[in-house]
Every structure is written in C-alpha cells, then in structure tokens.
Structure 1
Amino acid sequence: MAGLASPGIDGLRRVRPVRPGDSLSLRATVQDAHVSRFRPDRGLVTTGIEVLNRHGRTVLTMSAMSLLLRRQVISRPG
C-alpha cells in the first residue's frame, strides 16, 4: 500500500487544551474504505483520529482522508 495524496481533513475539533509536558497518544480507526470508480488501482480510506492526553481524555478529534495505491490481488486456484 502506497500513499498518493491526502484530499483533506474533516471535522477537526479541539476538545481540551494541551499543556506543555503532556504525553499524547493517538487512536486511529478506519471508518470507510472504497475503490475509486474511475481508477480501480486506487482507493480512498477515511480514518477517524482521536488524540488522548496522559489521563486518557480526548483532546482532539478529526477525520482524515487518504488516497492509496491498491495492491494487485492475485486469485488462487481452487
């Protein structure tokens, strides 16, 4: 899988402030994935991203889109 482009970010929300010295972690979940109708060698993946502070509280959320090159699928006999 190779990244080709990032068409954009939707719904960027800053939920809580981040302070100097905070440790942050990120949780990413694939929300949608589909093959391009016009270029079947490419797919568009939408990923939900949540950034958490050291207390496990959400500080930022967003939805990011990525245009990816698809791998060739080889069918196996039988």
Structure 2
Amino acid sequence: MKFADFHAGQVITAGPHRVTEEEICAFAGNYDPQWFHTDVASAARGKFGGLIASGWHTCSIAMRMIVDVALRDSESYASPGLSYVRWPHPVRPGDALILRATVIEARWSSRGVLGIVRWRWQLHNARDIEVLDLEATSLFDLAGAADENSRRGSAS
C-alpha cells in the first residue's frame, strides 16, 4: 500500500499465521532464551502449563504480517516507536493468529515531506482471544510527493 491509501478508521487484516513449537523455541533460543519459551518439559510444569511464545516473537509475527499486507512496496522507512505494547494472553504452539490493524490517523507532516500513520495492531488467536495490542507510528518518505501535496493544498 502507498501512504495515500491509508485513512483514519481503516481496518487492515492479515493471517492466519499458525505458530509452531519449533518457531517458538527457535525465536526464543536466539532472542529471549527463558525456560518457558525454550524448554517444553519445564514449561509444562510452569505457571502457564506449557510452552508460550516470547512477547517479542509475537510482535515480530505482527510486523511480518503488516509488512506482507500493507508496508511492502510502500514509502515506509522508519518508526519513531510505540505508544504502548501489551501481551494480554500468551501465544501457544498451534495458535492461528489473525492481525487487525486499525488506522487511527494518517496525515502529512507539517513540512509536507513525511506521511505519518498512527495505528493500533491487535493479534487474536482462533478463539478470538487477544494476544497482542500495540499502537505504532510509521513514517513514510514522501519527498517526491510533497510538490503534489502542496498543489492540492493539503500540507499540514
């Protein structure tokens, strides 16, 4: 999608992405090697009653999904960060995750060279249980489109 395709209230969906035990262990082994993400036997005896994905893995899944449906071939080039990130329920092996991204705001920067999209990403499993909730800001390089924006009189 191009920046011009985004508008407030828009809902973008992606998925499902089925999470495997191997994927959970591989990600955690590289980036979050805590026992409840990497050791199936120990995790079975733990508080969650089984292996769970790292929250950062969950964020990475959402990122891949949003790239595949919205950011690939766009003018997106960076993000200044997240307003918040929450993991209300764990992701488990076998979960099929669906992404729902709701555009809160899509606007031009005050100089008219950046597009700014503020959006909420939510991942739910097949039981419609929310496993990720975050608000992100994405920046789009619109330097070439700035002249067009000025001609339309919509620079902010």
What letter is aligned with 1:8?
Answer: G
TM-score normalised according to structure 1 size: 0.82
C-alpha distance in 2 between matches for 1:19 and 1:4: 31
- Code of the residue aligned with 1:36 in structure 2: it is S
Counterparts of 1:12-51 in structure 2, within 5 Å, are 12-37=85-110, 39-51=111-123
Cα RMSD for the two superposed structures: 1.7
The percent of aligned pairs where both chains have the same amino acid is: 38
Question: Secondary structure of the equivalent of 2:112?
Answer: coil
The structure with the larger Rg is 2
User: Per the alignment, in what secondary structure is the counterpart of residue 15 of structure 1?
Assistant: coil
The runs of at least 4 aligned residues of structure 1 exceeding 2 Å deviation read 69-75
**Number of residue pairs the alignment of both structures matches:** 74
Which residue matches 2:83?
10
Unaligned runs of 5+ in 1: none
Give structure 2 stretches of 5+ with no counterpart.
Answer: 3-74
SS of the aligned residue for 2:96 comes to: coil
SS at match of 2:131: strand
Normalized per residue, the structure richer in helix is 2
